[in-house]
Structure formats: C-alpha cells, structure tokens
Amino acid sequence: MLKNLYIMDNKGILLYSKSFEREQKYDDNLLIGFFTSITNFSREALGTAVKNVDLGENNKLIIVSKQDERLLGAAIVSSNDNNELVSNILKNILQEFIDSYSPDYDTEKIIQEEMEKNIQSNLKGKIISTPIIRVVISWLINGSLMYPLILLSIYATLFLFEAFNLTQYLYGDELFTRFFPAMILLSTGNIMILFLFPNFLFGILSPNRRVAIANSIIHLVVTIVLFAYSSEPAFAYIVIGHLPLTLIFSLFFLFFGIRFSSKRFLKKD
C-alpha cells in the first residue's frame, strides 16, 4: 500500500508531497532531510545510492534517484509491497514530473490537479481492494465455480475412460503397464481442474499467506464434501487418495498466485 509520496531535489528542497493516509504520521521536513542524507552518504561512501530502507512497523522506504536532473523520488509503502513494482511506479511519476516542470522546478508553478492525474494514471490497475473485499470476491468466484468444476472433472474422466476403453486393461499384464499409468494421469488432470484456478485466485486476492493457506484448506474440504453429494460420490476418493499430491499442487498454485500478485499490485491494508 502506498502511504506517502515525495519529490525533492538533491539539496533537500521538497518540491511535491502527497499523503495517502487519513492522518499525517510523519514530519515532512525531518523525512526530507533523512532521505537526502542517506542518499548522498551512500553515494559518497559506498559508490551507490540506497534504494530501500526498512522503517519498521510494517513500513519501508523506496528511493529513486534521477542524478541527471538532480531529483529524488521517495515513497513510504507497506513492508510486503514489491520493491521493483514500487520503484517502477515511482520512476514513471518522477519522469512525468520532469517532463512537465523541467528545468527550473518552481514549486509555485506545480499544479496540484496535474500531479494528481499523473499519480492516479500511474496507479491505475495497480491497486486492489481492501482485504475483506478481496476475500469475499475470491469466495464468490470460487464458490460459484466449485460445483461446475466438480462436474467437469467427473464427466471429463468418464468420457476419457470410455473413449480409450480403459476397462480392457483392468486384467492381465496391462493392469500395471497401461491402466494404472492412465489413472494416475487422469487423477492428476482432475486435481489440476479442481485446484489450479481456485488456488491461483486465492493467492492473488488473499491479504497474506496465512489467510491464503486457510482459504485453500477450506476449499479442499468443501470440494471433498461436494463430491460426496455429486452424481459420482466415489470420485471423492480421487482427491482423498491423492491428498499429498493435491496439497502439493494446491500450495504451488497458491504461492504462484501470491508471487504474481506481489509483482503487479499494491494491496490496501
């Protein structure tokens, strides 16, 4: 979540600032001095500018430097926000600021409405809703898809079983060479149908990993229960019998969704 945004020159003169929180928690003058001090010190002492600093209390600082323009952009964000995503947003905002107000950067000529449009255009599509709304949306989508996916899993399996006449391999030497490998492939396909998209969506929309894992486990239990009341209750044993594989796939899709989300979205706390 983006909490505060600052644009300043390398001498510590504040050119623009915006708070995204209802209450101002920081003294801008103290922060600006801190930003420029650590940037200039790190550049002189280490030969490179500091790009991020942990501020504690679920806050971190991201700094982008434009040395050729002698400007700094800084943002205070949540500690779980992706550094690269915030840096790219900050770079784009800073570049539009340069295009509009270079070379003199007169604070009296900076138009607030124009800066607001600049910021909003760079944040568009990169912020998703508050945690409770995200959880509700994920369950509304997954809840509506759960039973159709179960039916798809059942009928796709029955169709393939009949299409390839797998019954013929139930007896004799081909039981282990043909039938079991085919059933393993069908079971893996079922698990992907049932748990790929739902867990990916939970990963994208969940507020944190603990909530994502809890949602995934609840989804697994509900799926097994719905199988028991479906047209083919025995299919529940496909999920139960392959529970380790189901959990591995579910967690993989879940964490893939979390990673995908962190690289593309800022999440409201």
- 107-135 residue pLDDT tens: 888 999 999 999 999 999 898 888 899 99
The predicted model scores a pTM of 0.82
Q: What span, in angstroms and rounded, lies between the C-alpha atoms of 262 and 246? A: 24
H-run or E-run covering 134:
helix 131-163
Q: Which domains does the chain have, with CATH numbers?
A: 2-124 (3.30.450.70), 131-267 (no CATH)
- 3-18 residue pLDDT tens: 889 998 877 788 998 8
Alpha carbon 241 to chain centroid distance?
A: 31
The most distant pair of C-alpha atoms in the chain lies apart, rounded to whole Å, by 88
Cβ burial of 124 (10 Å; 0-12, 13-18, 19+) is: exposed
Nearest to 253 by CA among 202, 200, 192: 200
Q: What span, in angstroms and rounded, lies between the C-alpha atoms of 198 and 137? A: 12
Residue at token pair 């950067």:
105
Q: Are 24 and 45 in contact (CB under 8 A)?
A: no
Token pair for residue 141?
A: 């989508």
Residue at token pair 């995908």:
260
- 41-82 residue pLDDT tens: 666 655 566 678 888 888 888 988 887 878 888 888 988 899
pLDDT on residue 43: 62
CA–CA distance from 10 to each of 18, 49, 53, 60, 118 (Å)? 19, 12, 18, 20, 22
pLDDT on residue 117: 94
Which residues lie across from 64 on neighbouring strands? Answer: 73
